[in-house]
Amino acid sequence: MRAALLVFILCLTGGATTAQVNEAANYEITINGKTTDIALGKEYKMKLANGKEVTVAVQQKDILTYQDDWISLQYPKGLQPAFATPDPDLEQITLVTANGNGVLVQKYKTINPTELVDLMLKEVTNEEVSFGYSITEQPFERRLKSGQQAKGKSVELTYGSDVQRYTVAALGGENEGIIFITMLNAAYDHEDDKLIQLFLDSLAYNRD
């Protein structure tokens, strides 16, 4: 039932866009006014003004950082954040793996979204519950890297051998805040759980 969540995300994004995938010679390096096109991980021989030849290479870090004036978070290289503005007062960032697992953050500019946790949780689990999945729910609390306490709920949905896990949590102040969702199919918990744990360990809210 992972497709249901992906459809839900796409409906919220209204057509999200992702940054261009790094490939070919998509970068430039300038030394003493001379610019050369380069690709990640490839070595290039360049001659300095004094005639000395040097080897130059640009590598991408294994862990990348996204930061804006609201939040910061980290994610593994190979993924690209997708950005959308479904509403002028709502911005959304998603990081989803090829398996359909990942995280979603929404930034609310005119309301405190802490009251939306139950509604959001119902939206992302509705199809599984209707299909017959059993559901187990428990409170969720997490202290962010920036020190605030995010609160919400975690659920586990089970149907035979299929196990889906979702967490929805929020925090905010007067007339603004963030809500985030993590989603994981247990079949990939040794693979995609690293993305979710990195997100939870690194998420910071910078509005307080």
Q: Could you tell me if 115 and 13 lie in one domain?
A: yes
SS3 at position 19? coil
Q: Is residue 90 part of a domain?
A: yes
Domain of 170: which CATH number? 3.40.1000.10
Q: Is residue 22 part of a domain?
A: no
* pLDDT band at residue 5 using 50, 70 and 90 as cut-offs: very low
Q: Per residue in 164-188, pLDDT tens?
A: 999 999 999 889 999 999 999 998 8
- Residue 46 pLDDT > 90: no
Estimate to the nearest angstrom the gap between the alpha carbon of 51 and the chain centroid: 46
SS3 at position 59? coil
Q: Could you tell me if 50 and 85 lie in one domain?
A: no
Q: Could you tell me if 44 and 143 lie in one domain?
A: no
In this prediction, residue 14 carries a pLDDT of 44
Bridge partners for 87 per DSSP: 90
Distance in angstroms (rounded) separating the CA atoms of residues 172 and 110? 11
Domain with 39 in it: 27-56
For residue 164 the two structure tokens come to 């889906």
Bridge partners for 149 per DSSP: 143
Strands 63-67 and 71-76: antiparallel
What's the domain count of the chain?
Answer: 2
In this prediction, residue 1 carries a pLDDT of 43
Q: Could you tell me if 132 and 82 lie in one domain?
A: yes
Q: Could you tell me if 47 and 69 lie in one domain?
A: no
If you search the block for the tokens 């839900």, which residue do you land on? 8
Q: Could you tell me if 43 and 143 lie in one domain?
A: no
Portion of the chain with pLDDT greater than 90, in percent: 65
pTM above 0.85, yes or no: no
Share in percent of the chain as helix, strand, coil (round to 5) = 20, 45, 35
Q: Is residue 75 part of a domain?
A: yes
